[in-house]
Structure formats: C-alpha cells, structure tokens
C-alpha cells in the first residue's frame, strides 16, 4: 500500500499514459497492458509495491543485522522506504524561481519514472500534488495526453528503456518535440511550457529544466 493506494491505482502509473504507444518510434515496449494483465502478471511482495528498488544501504544493514526475525527485517526495510523526493522538490523550486513560473504554468511534465512510486513522488515534489496525494493525481486522466498535465508522452522510461545518462538527453528531445509540434501521434494540445526532470540514484541528484516555446 502506498498512501492508501491499491493495485489498480498503482497500475495506472505502471503503464504508459500515451494512447499511441505503438506509433512511437521511441518506445522499446510498444504495447499497453490491461488491468487484468498487470494484476495477474506476477506476484510482488507488498514492500516492493511501496518501493520496488531496494537501496544498497538497506542490503548492507540487513547483512549486518544479527536479528533475522521477520519483524526485525521488516523494521529495517521500513526505515529505508522512500516516501518523498527532497532533492526533486529543491530542484523544482529552484528552476521555477529561475524561469519565473510555477506548477500552474506547466503544460507538460517529462518526469523520471524509472519506478512506479517515483512518478507519484515526482508529482508531489514538483508541486502538482500535495504530499501523499500524488498516487491519486492521475485517476481522472490528468496525466494523459489530453489531460491537464500530460506526462512522459512517449511512454516513459518503462516503455522506451532507461539508458541512465542518455535518459536525460532523450527527455529534453521529447519535450522539444512536444513544444515544436513534431511529436506525431502523441502530440499534446498546444503546449507552451515543459518541465523536464532527471533523477540520479534514489533522488540524491536531480536536474530540472524548463523549456518554453519561442514566440
């Protein structure tokens, strides 16, 4: 469970929000998954639903622990669950100040959705949702191509792959395509300002850019 979410809500962030994934030459995975496919594909421990990539420090602490009871292991894991992206919040705040805009001015958000929970936490850190409410932000279609805040319009990292350093470069290219009206079947409606955010590690390094369309 993540802030009261359930599997169907999390699945919304696990699948690319773009309806034309097959038309995207950038997509590595060019097909969408139904709710049933996502639900029945595999069984993942509930702790993975909260944060599917365990930090190295967690593994070290587990190896060092002399108490290997389930309760002790659970306590170590809970101490390492990522529930906010402080670095992303700082980076977003600074880039907003530099550009003289705010979350209300952003038409497109190219976020670093390497893991499902990062999508929700990024929406919160960038000011689009209150803490704990990011996972519910897209329920009404807000993050779709025709929504109020389209995100990752070519399918995100899960669809096109995550070549680490090259990911940030691609994010900028995708934002450029959207702002210049050259995104093809995945084009959003008349975007003027895009926020691009790339995250390194577990949120320790964050680089944000704001791109605007030339008048």
Alpha carbon 55 to its chain's center: 18
Find out whether 157 and 167 touch, Cβ atoms under 8 Å.
yes
Q: Is the pLDDT of residue 32 over 70?
A: no
CA distance 163 to 197: 15
Structural domains of the chain ordered from first start: 7-41+82-212 (3.40.47.10)
- Closest Cα partner for 172 from 139, 200, 207? 207
Rg for the chain (alpha carbons), in Å?
Answer: 18
What number of other Cβ atoms are within 10 A of residue 17's Cβ? 25
pLDDT of amino acid 24: 55
Lowest mean per-residue pLDDT among 50-64, 112-126, 160-174, 192-206? 50-64
Residue labelled with tokens 């420090």: 57
pTM, two decimal places: 0.71
Across all residues in the chain, what is the average pLDDT?
Answer: 77
Render pLDDT for 110-129 as a digit per residue (tens, 0 to 9): 999 888 888 999 999 999 99
First to last CA, the chain: 45
Which range, of 53-57, 60-64, 65-69, 159-163, averages the lowest pLDDT? 53-57
Contact 197, 111 (CB under 8 A): yes
The pLDDT of residue 117:
83
21-30 mean pLDDT? 52
**Cβ count near 170 (within 10 Å):** 19
More confident residue, 38 or 90: 90
pLDDT of residue 8: 56
């Amino acid at each position: 469970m993540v802030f009261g979410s359930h599997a169907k809500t999390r699945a919304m962030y696990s699948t690319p929000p773009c309806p034309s994934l097959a038309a995207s030459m950038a997509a590595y995975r060019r097909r969408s998954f139904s709710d049933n496919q996502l639900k029945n594909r595999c069984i993942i421990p509930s702790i993975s639903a909260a944060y599917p990539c365990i930090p190295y420090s967690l593994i070290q602490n587990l190896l060092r622990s002399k108490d290997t009871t389930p309760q002790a292991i659970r306590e170590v894991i809970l101490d390492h669950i990522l529930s906010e992206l402080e670095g992303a919040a700082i980076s977003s705040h600074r880039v907003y100040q530099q550009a003289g805009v705010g979350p209300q001015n952003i038409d497109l958000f190219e976020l670093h959705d390497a893991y499902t929970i990062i999508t929700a936490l990024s929406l919160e850190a960038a000011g689009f949702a209150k803490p704990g409410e990011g996972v519910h932000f897209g329920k009404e279609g807000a993050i779709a191509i025709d929504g109020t805040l389209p995100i990752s319009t070519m399918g995100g990292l899960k669809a096109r792959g995550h070549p680490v350093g090259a990911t940030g470069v691609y994010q900028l290219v995708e934002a450029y395509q959207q702002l210049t009206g050259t995104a093809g079947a995945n084009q959003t409606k008349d975007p003027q300002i895009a926020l691009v955010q790339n995250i390194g590690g577990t949120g320790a390094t964050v680089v944000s850019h704001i791109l605007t369309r030339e008048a």
